[in-house]
Amino acid sequence: MGITNKEYFLLFVTSYLLVGVLTPLMRKIALATNVVDNPNAAHKSHKKAVPYLGGVAIIIGIISISYSTSLISNFTSTTFWLATSVLGPALLLGLIGLWDDLKNLKPLPRFIAQTVAGLFTAAALILGNNVGNPTGSQIFDSIITVIWVVGICNSINFFDNLDGGAAGTVAISSIALAILALNGDQYLIAALSTVTAGATLGFLVWNKSPAKIYMGDAGALFLGVLLATLTVRFEPNAQTQIGSYLIPILLLAIPILDTTVAVLSRVRRHLSTFQGGQDHLSHRLIRAGLSRKQAAFSLWSLSAFFAAVAILISTTSTSAESYIVTGVGLLWVIMFILFFRTRDS
């Protein structure tokens, strides 16, 4: 079943407005109940306490718009359950993230929960033959799916360390995924990606520097699992297998880069990879002289570049694709080296 451009626009605007209205309400609740992120010079760069619970607004917005759309449109029951296979694991992790925001869970229980969600997602997708780019081996597909879901879930959570950084990047990735899915007639993924883009941009109004509210672990874990699951379900339209595998990675290239740099820098310093720190890309850009707004814009720009390359790969010829894949791979490695060589804290 196709969706008209007008309907996609309405999905985007409705989710944008709904989350834009819900976010200040959640801010008032967070302030009234003292659910705030207090300054911590060792791990955090903000100077004043900032309320959490922005993620709750994102979750409510995305789930309500997605299911409302399925109820009022001519979606089939099959499509409804396919949407649930995407939104269900994301909601589970979002609720665990909310618990973490309220009770400050230790890293190990949170990691176990992420792994369980990854296993559930892999089972649901593989048993339902809904892996967009299978390798031909269910065992290998399962392993890759679990690693991808857990990895992206953590990457988005790690990346949420700068006013507007994660929200803007997720919006960019979602818009690019919606374009790719629409070009491939994958309407469910295009619709859910459109809703996600609208919701995160609606939240960004309140989260841009100086942030009035954070999404917290509830929002970061929800969006991480959501994007991971959508990209697993997505069937890339590249000319080569390498290009098909690379497209989802390019859509999330900057959060992946951020996590890689931060984790390896902690390993180098013999620190726990789970502890917080000012060793992320945003912190390194700020130490290089950029303002918080400039750092966020730089990360958005880099995300948009890699997302544009992903779209280009899906539309180019086989011969040109090999050059693009090689070039963008080298660029990512060069960026990693440059960031990794800067001061860790």
- pLDDT tens column, 290-337: 999 999 999 999 999 999 999 999 888 888 888 999 999 999 999 999
pLDDT tens digit sequence for 213-269: 999 999 999 999 999 999 988 988 777 888 888 999 999 999 999 999 999 999 999
Among the ranges 34-38, 81-85, 145-149, 202-206, which has the highest mean pLDDT value?
202-206
Provide the percentage of residues in the chain whose pLDDT is more than 70.
Answer: 90
Average pLDDT for the chain: 87
Residue 82 has pLDDT above 80, yes or no: no
Residue 3 has pLDDT above 80, yes or no: no
Q: How far apart are CA 307 and CA 287, in angstroms?
A: 26
Single pTM value for the model: 0.92
Residue 339 has pLDDT above 90, yes or no: yes
109 — pLDDT class (breaks 50, 70, 90): confident
pLDDT tens digit sequence for 130-178: 665 666 677 777 788 888 888 998 899 999 999 999 999 999 999 999 9
pLDDT of residue 241: 81
pLDDT of residue 64: 94
Residue 42 has pLDDT above 70, yes or no: no
Q: How far apart are CA 58 and CA 54, in angstroms?
A: 7
Residue 285 has pLDDT above 90, yes or no: yes
* Residue 333 CB partners (closer than 8 Å, separation 6+): none
One DSSP character per residue, 161-190 reads -STTHHHHHHHHHHHHHHHHHHHTT-HHHH
Map residue 36 onto helix, strand or coil: strand
